[in-house]
Structure 1
């Protein structure tokens, strides 16, 4: 059998010690000692191959919160970046241009507010922009891109409109047969008002929020009828103590996502493997955390990927597992220590290895501490030093155009 790419000697998630072959951008075979030839063979002995990670909550579209995904994806293993409401009906064309220009996959959740997240907040205060009919038309016209509806429900976002933007989002989602992801935060409206409206398959993001503190009967009732709980860490949506209480109450998250955006990229989130380590730090097992970042988020939105089954897209992440006691911080500067972390060695999308990228400067409107600014400056200096030094010395070079041997006199 001829393959484009063959990984040998590693651990394949769900298959143990096995080889994995890729052909035409798809997983072609998984098994021990695969026979056949391959254009490229990659030795991954001692490493773990997982499906490319699926981040259910990111912001990569244009606007206040958006970031570029490729400079983070190549070093983190995240091959699917669900843009969670950066764009509404008025601004979806901008998100489509972003998605078309990235190496990673960018499915989207349409913001019920047609203006999306052009600004920091407040998109749900004008109900005229929360146009159900317009949202339905937009989803139907862009089914290749849109896989759900996003609604942010907190005091700043909706003002005096309470849960009405959510009702409109649910109506649009029902008409289109897609789920709703709802952001929870500072009341009013109350958490119970929000949760009581959700249907099986809808998603509560920031589920371990220290601000909303989702605990109590309404959370259990929502989980019991099939509402999904998503971490959605972000710059203010995750607290270790809340998650620990939820796990003790039988409310472990279904999915782990970053809510990675311009205000969380440089801390406290950093990337999805770091967020996954935070779940390991509170005692969740590795196989559960991996499922929460691969097959479960893919299934939640009906996305391809999240699996290494034959015929699946060859979106792959290669990790080294490191053991130790790794300090981690939540959105409120509480710390815990993870016994394990995933260090990305390579990321592939449709069988193509992602190349290293450097991200753009931080937008001027993003607040950073002096320590964050100093760290970014130090990183830039270190990178400049690394890249301006000659790659190798004379002993690492070949004489590509040898001089002719002088003739004897």
Structure 2
């Protein structure tokens, strides 16, 4: 028996209004508004549709504290159909994360923490003995369909006396496995000028808009040479908002100098989901609307750009015969107060609000937030 329904009069970010017919979990047809035929209907008048949002930096392993949360709470309930766990687990627990993902409605991919213990501790790179290359390579061989890269958190509280050495090992492991690095940047030492030159094309700098002293912009807001050099050689810039890693001031300087994010991600986990300043993907996206990025640019950063980096272009498009992974959202009028990671507040006159997703063909309403 065919299970079919139509998303009626939804619109792309370009403003084009369409009907999308979904049959047995696949996009069966994309047609003019009012022309789609199905047994069930969703009235999408006034609602935007995009391919399913992708969050490139989350923490979705609830057993680890403080950086953990339930997969679907930070996935489909947020309007996000695919999450990429950013190194919660190393080789010790990556199998558990992947098994949990198989039970979730949200698609789950992962960066493997180069420390075998992952975020069991928040100084996971302070002991070089916790970096076990052979166990990491074994995990990659076993779970290669789910592991998209390696994660190294290179900031003072994580590496301790190990300094820059964990990143040197991560670089070697990247070259041995062919997997790119996602590198967390934060307080020094190591100095940011030591860190960034070790990154290569397709590696990711996450938290690149943080407002800490050891950041990528000088006192006048100009990008450091190491940053412009990295962009020129194809290093990918990711937001990774988090509790302490997004500054309106730095983001404004970056935009002024044309250093736009490749991807917008949340670095969400239970604490900053419930208590802020992250709350949700749409809250983070709204901050970029406030900064003056266009809706098309913003949605592209969590769809097409993220899907391209992952090597899964099908996740960033809406096309007949593809699995239906879609996000439905609206633009709502403010005023709404938005807060960055430094406690600075800005008033938004318009915000993005996720309404629901179609995840692997199933319609799921988003969490209702005040």
TM-score normalised according to structure 1 size:
0.83
Q: Partner residue of 1:24? A: 24
Question: Quick one: distance in 2 between partners of 1:5 and 1:169?
Answer: 47
Q: Partner residue of 1:58? A: 58
User: Shift in Å at residue 354 of structure 1?
Assistant: 2.2
Query: Structure 2: any 5+ residue segments left out of the alignment?
Result: 218-223
After superposing the two structures, state which structure 1 stretch, 103-112 or 21-30, moved more: 21-30
1:317 equivalenced with 2:317 (yes/no): no
User: Does the 8 Å contact 1:57/1:257 carry over to 2?
Assistant: yes
Give RMSD over aligned pairs. 2.1
User: Does the 8 Å contact 1:56/1:256 carry over to 2?
Assistant: yes
Q: Partner residue of 1:134? A: 135
User: Shift in Å at residue 33 of structure 1?
Assistant: 4.2
User: Shift in Å at residue 77 of structure 1?
Assistant: 0.9
Q: Partner residue of 2:190? A: 189
2:172 counterpart SS class: helix
User: Shift in Å at residue 264 of structure 1?
Assistant: 1.4
Question: Quick one: distance in 2 between partners of 1:203 and 1:306?
Answer: 19
User: Does the 8 Å contact 1:12/1:19 carry over to 2?
Assistant: no
User: Shift in Å at residue 295 of structure 1?
Assistant: 1.4
With over 3 angstroms needed to count, the CA separation of the structure-2 counterparts of 1:290 and 1:160, relative to structure 1, is: same
1:196 counterpart SS class: helix
After superposing the two structures, state which structure 1 stretch, 161-170 or 69-78, moved more: 69-78
Q: Partner residue of 2:103? A: 101
Query: Structure 1: any 5+ residue segments left out of the alignment?
Result: 359-378, 383-409
Q: Partner residue of 2:246? A: 238
Matched residue count: 358
Question: Quick one: distance in 2 between partners of 1:89 and 1:183?
Answer: 19
Q: After superposition, where does 1:114-125 map in structure 2 within 5 Å?
A: 114-119=116-121, 121-125=122-126
User: Shift in Å at residue 357 of structure 1?
Assistant: 7.4
1:91 equivalenced with 2:93 (yes/no): yes
Question: Quick one: distance in 2 between partners of 1:225 and 1:26?
Answer: 38
TM-score normalised according to structure 2 size:
0.91
With over 3 angstroms needed to count, the CA separation of the structure-2 counterparts of 1:77 and 1:219, relative to structure 1, is: same
Deviations 1:11-59 (A, max 9, x none): 0345711111223323232231475642322221111111111000000
Question: Quick one: distance in 2 between partners of 1:74 and 1:301?
Answer: 19
Q: Partner residue of 1:335? A: 345
With over 3 angstroms needed to count, the CA separation of the structure-2 counterparts of 1:357 and 1:283, relative to structure 1, is: closer
User: Does the 8 Å contact 2:21/2:37 carry over to 1?
Assistant: no
User: Does the 8 Å contact 1:88/1:111 carry over to 2?
Assistant: yes
Q: After superposition, where does 1:163-182 map in structure 2 within 5 Å?
A: 163-182=164-183
2:129 counterpart SS class: helix
Q: Partner residue of 1:257? A: 265
User: Does the 8 Å contact 2:326/2:358 carry over to 1?
Assistant: yes
Q: Which structure has the larger Rg over C-alpha atoms?
A: 1
Deviations 1:335-366 (A, max 9, x none): 122332122222220110126779xxxxxxxx
Deviations 1:141-186 (A, max 9, x none): 1112111111100011111212221222222222332221000001
Question: Quick one: distance in 1 between partners of 2:133 and 2:37?
Answer: 54
Deviations 1:246-297 (A, max 9, x none): 1111111111000001331120100110000111111111111111111111
User: Does the 8 Å contact 1:75/1:345 carry over to 2?
Assistant: no
Question: Quick one: distance in 1 between partners of 2:351 and 2:367?
Answer: 23
User: Shift in Å at residue 132 of structure 1?
Assistant: 2.4
